[in-house]
Chains A and B, each alone.
Chain A
């Protein structure tokens, strides 16, 4: 009886979460940021681990994989959900390996040597049952949650190394991470910030208000003025929605033009992105890469008759190729775009790239 209740409770939570994902966001993304989305997903996964019925690691991984597939299908553009699912799967693998007693490092790296020596023994069934596996997995997920909580602070702590006095910094739209980053630097340094408003959602306005409340000199410019102003800018610091597997970005629309303008003026482009935004996706997925929302932001309903004669599209995201990016600042430090593949192999297991 209590088991059945628990199951319906979990199913209800999952359904509510899926419905939220589907409905969430009528513009630039969910009303809550990616960080909260990641945290919600992790809470949900922890609950599934604690309350679902499973006997071996393989079962648990199957359950989590199924739920993960449903969640990513509900809102394909919300990649943090899938990323967290993959992190948890990796955690399960690690804990299983640790319980079995074999050392982790030799298991993870695939090398020619390993291929020659191990042969058929490398088949992992994950069928063995361990008593403390559940507790270990839940503890590891708790550590993951702590890490998630601290990402913004970790990134903000690195601000002083990158921002110097009397610099002019440009940013686009609104990113909580970049806001914290700049506010932290403003405690000790004086600098100017130019915010591009990023039409049609114009989130740059909120960013500018937030920054000026912290005492930073802020200027808001229209997107068309980005290239004109770029010659005066020392650095461009932006946030992103997702970091792709090749080091490219899926950022807010307008980011690509900023990146090109920065490359033209040889201005460094710095991306502040926490590790949970790193996704094993590549940018060639035509149908799920973009998100188009209601055209009323571009051409409102009051435009009248013309609306039946024109097609109006309102995309939310933009692709920035890795060649235009100088540096990624994440909670584990600064990295070049060409190093992203390595970071990814540490975060996710190759078999989990496709849920």
Chain B
């Protein structure tokens, strides 16, 4: 009893101390729940794919550790055994690691929402935590954002639920993923998110007016943000995901919070960083960009020669023009590594090769007269002579025979052989897994049991390789972007990012969707009235122009309309301004006179309103 009393007295002090002493936690989702990297990720989970000869999950863990996280929960679903093995062998699971890594696997996760529901169910997080995906590459120091987040929560009593970390970057930058492009309306002073919309594919954007009525007077609408997919979440986030079963992704969550703001009162803030680099490898286009950014040292100190994973033999030397060479690399005579090249250890390169902007893994063999430009080769790749590779990915164990030309955006998956004298057209994906294998093995997708995979391999061997596609000595099947999805989406998702499908229906579809959005919004009768009022005002203005009615009469008419439709003063002014501004667009022609006319109308209306308020 007495101890409880004592605790209560000291309650404030100890709770603050406890908050500061509690280790910073992070939730790392090592599964992307989509198939952007299929068929590469059929053999290896996305988090273990090498970027600059280091698995992507290592970058994420290094980012978390260097920002001070002391406890990380890694959630794996697809091929969790491989991820677990990798982590147990890495420096993160050594007893001396400052970051304690717990690996949680389950086959039932289907989305980020499921993971967070599990976090809530298992009660894993006690305090604010950092939420990232397993393929985030970053060197941002989140402690500043964390401080702001904690301060906000203390000041506002837990209203702020999440702080999203964005990086300031101009729209043309190639590290901006087009699929993740957002436009955000925010309150400049409190950095609160007022409106959040993905802009991919949209030509027109709409902002609901009520977001600007929150009492602050400084707003920013920003399109120069790169989504780092790093969020600082409060424990309430996990609870909110449990409450709302249809939240699957972070965008759902953000939209849900913004829509339900009046009911729940939760807010989302954002933190924009200018220094520091953060990006997520969500498709192969981003893989290309992030890889080249890493080689050009934008992610310092996570550079190739730093060997931050502490692996034996992984170190390399950094020379001029960002050329990195691992141990025991042999270069033939006349070969040039022009710029931004990373070569793994034990690789041998033949004579007269020209390599630029590429990453080559360990144990590769490259023949003579090879031209590599923006080629990403993983380990144990064998490339014969006279080969040209442009902007392509060649996975482990692949063999490229003589005189092959890989045009842009090709992908050769594991163990594929491409026969001599062949030129692969742009965007070809070749894999040892047959594309039809997908439909047969739908149930087996999430099983990592090796025996099952072996069975499916036997089935595919029965189907012959097509020499016209992969060359006379080739092995592999060509994957085309699946045609079933294009009926639902206007944009086909291929590995390299979005490809605009030249679908004539797409424009009408987007319009239809906009209209349906309008309809859904105009459900409440109030908004119906407002629309009707707007139409009436427009009609009045038109008549006024045509018949050259005196301004005062128009003002009188608008005032009576105001009472008829029960519109507030503020709304009248808003709608009137809007109509006046939009009017010239509808009447092309006598623009100047219209402007003069309506210009004189507005101040008179204003005076009228002010008089009204005095009376009231």
Question: Hey, which bits of chain A sit against chain B, CB under 8 A?
Answer: 8, 11-12, 15-16, 19, 22-23, 25-26, 73, 286-288, 292-296, 300-305, 307-308, 311-314
Task: Enumerate chain A residues within 8 angstroms of B321, measured Cβ to Cβ.
Answer: 311
Task: Give min CB distance, B343 to chain A, whole Å.
Answer: 14
Residues of B289-312 contacting chain A, CB below 8 A = 289, 292, 296-301, 306, 308
Closest A residue to B168 by beta carbon equals A302
Residues of B41-75 contacting chain A, CB below 8 A = 65-66
26 interchain pairs, CB-CB under 8 A: A8-B96, A11-B96, A12-B95, A15-B96, A19-B65, A19-B66, A23-B301, A23-B308, A26-B301, A73-B315, A287-B317, A288-B317, A292-B300, A295-B296, A296-B298, A300-B274, A301-B167, A301-B168, A301-B298, A302-B224, A304-B169, A304-B172, A305-B170, A311-B321, A311-B322, A314-B297
Given that A15-B96, A22-B308, A286-B319 are contacting pairs, would A305 and B298 also be in contact in the complex, using a CB cutoff of 8 Å?
no
Please name 5 further chain A to chain B contacts, defined as beta carbons within 8 Å, in addition to the given A295-B296, A305-B173, sorted by A numbering: A294-B297, A295-B298, A296-B275, A301-B277, A304-B169
What are the 7 tightest A-B residue pairs by CB atom distance, in nearest-first order? A304-B170, A305-B172, A294-B300, A12-B96, A287-B317, A304-B172, A15-B96
Point out the residue from A287, A294, A302 that lies within 8 Å of B298, measured CB to CB. A294
Closest B residue to A13 by beta carbon equals B96
Task: Give min CB distance, B112 to chain A, whole Å.
Answer: 27
Closest B residue to A76 by beta carbon equals B305
- Is there an interface contact between A16 and B98, defined as CB atoms closer than 8 Å? yes
Residue from the set B65, B139, B274, B318 with the largest chain A CB neighbour count within 10 Å = B318
Give the distance in Å from the alpha carbon of A294 to the alpha carbon of B315 in the complex: 19
Check: B25 CB closer than 8 A to any chain A CB: no
- Is there an interface contact between A287 and B319, defined as CB atoms closer than 8 Å? yes
Check: B610 CB closer than 8 A to any chain A CB: no
Task: Give min CB distance, B443 to chain A, whole Å.
Answer: 43
- Is there an interface contact between B95 and A8, defined as CB atoms closer than 8 Å? yes
Point out the residue from A22, A300, A304, A312 that lies within 8 Å of B171, measured CB to CB. A304
Closest A residue to B318 by beta carbon equals A287
Task: Enumerate chain B residues within 8 angstroms of A292, measured Cβ to Cβ.
Answer: 297, 300, 318
Task: Enumerate chain A residues within 8 angstroms of B178, measured Cβ to Cβ.
Answer: none
Task: Enumerate chain B residues within 8 angstroms of A312, measured Cβ to Cβ.
Answer: 296
Task: Enumerate chain B residues within 8 angstroms of A11, measured Cβ to Cβ.
Answer: 96
Task: Enumerate chain A residues within 8 angstroms of B95, measured Cβ to Cβ.
Answer: 8, 12
Task: Give min CB distance, B549 to chain A, whole Å.
Answer: 51
Residue from the set B297, B300, B315, B321 with the largest chain A CB neighbour count within 10 Å = B300
- Is there an interface contact between A296 and B277, defined as CB atoms closer than 8 Å? yes
Check: B174 CB closer than 8 A to any chain A CB: yes
Check: B339 CB closer than 8 A to any chain A CB: yes
Give the distance in Å from the alpha carbon of A307 to the alpha carbon of B293 in the complex: 10
Task: Enumerate chain A residues within 8 angstroms of B94, measured Cβ to Cβ.
Answer: 15
Task: Give min CB distance, A302 to chain B, whole Å.
Answer: 5
- Is there an interface contact between B171 and A293, defined as CB atoms closer than 8 Å? no
Task: Give min CB distance, A29 to chain B, whole Å.
Answer: 12
Check: B379 CB closer than 8 A to any chain A CB: no
Task: Enumerate chain B residues within 8 angstroms of A301, measured Cβ to Cβ.
Answer: 167-170, 173, 274, 277, 298
- Is there an interface contact between A311 and B301, defined as CB atoms closer than 8 Å? no
Give the distance in Å from the alpha carbon of A304 to the alpha carbon of B94 in the complex: 41
Task: Give min CB distance, A308 to chain B, whole Å.
Answer: 5
Check: B365 CB closer than 8 A to any chain A CB: no
Task: Enumerate chain B residues within 8 angstroms of A296, measured Cβ to Cβ.
Answer: 275, 277, 298
- Is there an interface contact between B299 and A294, defined as CB atoms closer than 8 Å? yes
Task: Enumerate chain A residues within 8 angstroms of B298, measured Cβ to Cβ.
Answer: 294-296, 301
Give the distance in Å from the alpha carbon of A151 to the alpha carbon of B96 in the complex: 34
Give the distance in Å from the alpha carbon of A295 to the alpha carbon of B96 in the complex: 33
- Is there an interface contact between A305 and B96, defined as CB atoms closer than 8 Å? no
Task: Give min CB distance, B441 to chain A, whole Å.
Answer: 39
- Is there an interface contact between A22 and B319, defined as CB atoms closer than 8 Å? no
Give the distance in Å from the alpha carbon of A15 to the alpha carbon of B300 in the complex: 20
Task: Enumerate chain A residues within 8 angstroms of B386, measured Cβ to Cβ.
Answer: none
- Is there an interface contact between A308 and B300, defined as CB atoms closer than 8 Å? no
Give the distance in Å from the alpha carbon of A345 to the alpha carbon of B514 in the complex: 80
Task: Give min CB distance, B335 to chain A, whole Å.
Answer: 19
- Is there an interface contact between A293 and B172, defined as CB atoms closer than 8 Å? no
Task: Enumerate chain A residues within 8 angstroms of B306, measured Cβ to Cβ.
Answer: 22
Give the distance in Å from the alpha carbon of A305 to the alpha carbon of B289 in the complex: 12
Task: Enumerate chain B residues within 8 angstroms of A8, measured Cβ to Cβ.
Answer: 95-96
Give the distance in Å from the alpha carbon of A8 to the alpha carbon of B97 in the complex: 11
Give the distance in Å from the alpha carbon of A254 to the alpha carbon of B381 in the complex: 44
Task: Enumerate chain A residues within 8 angstroms of B308, measured Cβ to Cβ.
Answer: 22-23
Task: Enumerate chain A residues within 8 angstroms of B300, measured Cβ to Cβ.
Answer: 26, 292-294
Task: Give min CB distance, B15 to chain A, whole Å.
Answer: 29
Task: Enumerate chain A residues within 8 angstroms of B224, measured Cβ to Cβ.
Answer: 302
Check: B163 CB closer than 8 A to any chain A CB: no
- Is there an interface contact between B301 and A302, defined as CB atoms closer than 8 Å? no
Check: B234 CB closer than 8 A to any chain A CB: no
Check: B80 CB closer than 8 A to any chain A CB: no
Task: Give min CB distance, B560 to chain A, whole Å.
Answer: 52
Q: Mark B228-262, 1 if CB is under 8 A from A, else 0.
A: 00000000000000000000000000000000000
Give the distance in Å from the alpha carbon of A8 to the alpha carbon of B322 in the complex: 38
- Is there an interface contact between B96 and A311, defined as CB atoms closer than 8 Å? no
Task: Enumerate chain A residues within 8 angstroms of B296, measured Cβ to Cβ.
Answer: 295, 311-312
Check: B385 CB closer than 8 A to any chain A CB: no
- Is there an interface contact between A295 and B319, defined as CB atoms closer than 8 Å? no
Task: Give min CB distance, B317 to chain A, whole Å.
Answer: 4
- Is there an interface contact between A303 and B170, defined as CB atoms closer than 8 Å? yes
Closest A residue to B306 by beta carbon equals A22
- Is there an interface contact between B66 and A293, defined as CB atoms closer than 8 Å? no
Closest B residue to A9 by beta carbon equals B96
Check: B340 CB closer than 8 A to any chain A CB: yes
Closest A residue to B339 by beta carbon equals A311
- Is there an interface contact between B297 and A293, defined as CB atoms closer than 8 Å? yes
Task: Enumerate chain B residues within 8 angstroms of A295, measured Cβ to Cβ.
Answer: 296-298
Closest A residue to B308 by beta carbon equals A22
Residues of B144-194 contacting chain A, CB below 8 A = 167-174
- Is there an interface contact between B174 and A294, defined as CB atoms closer than 8 Å? no
Task: Give min CB distance, A25 to chain B, whole Å.
Answer: 8
Task: Enumerate chain A residues within 8 angstroms of B299, measured Cβ to Cβ.
Answer: 294
Task: Enumerate chain A residues within 8 angstroms of B66, measured Cβ to Cβ.
Answer: 19, 23
Task: Give min CB distance, B603 to chain A, whole Å.
Answer: 41
Residues of B84-100 contacting chain A, CB below 8 A = 94-98
Give the distance in Å from the alpha carbon of A19 to the alpha carbon of B321 in the complex: 26
Task: Enumerate chain A residues within 8 angstroms of B170, measured Cβ to Cβ.
Answer: 301-305
Task: Give min CB distance, B224 to chain A, whole Å.
Answer: 7
Task: Enumerate chain A residues within 8 angstroms of B172, measured Cβ to Cβ.
Answer: 304-305
Give the distance in Å from the alpha carbon of A285 to the alpha carbon of B547 in the complex: 88
Task: Enumerate chain A residues within 8 angstroms of B277, measured Cβ to Cβ.
Answer: 294, 296, 301
Give the distance in Å from the alpha carbon of A11 to the alpha carbon of B98 in the complex: 12
Task: Enumerate chain A residues within 8 angstroms of B322, measured Cβ to Cβ.
Answer: 311, 313
Task: Enumerate chain B residues within 8 angstroms of A287, measured Cβ to Cβ.
Answer: 317-319
Give the distance in Å from the alpha carbon of A186 to the alpha carbon of B296 in the complex: 45
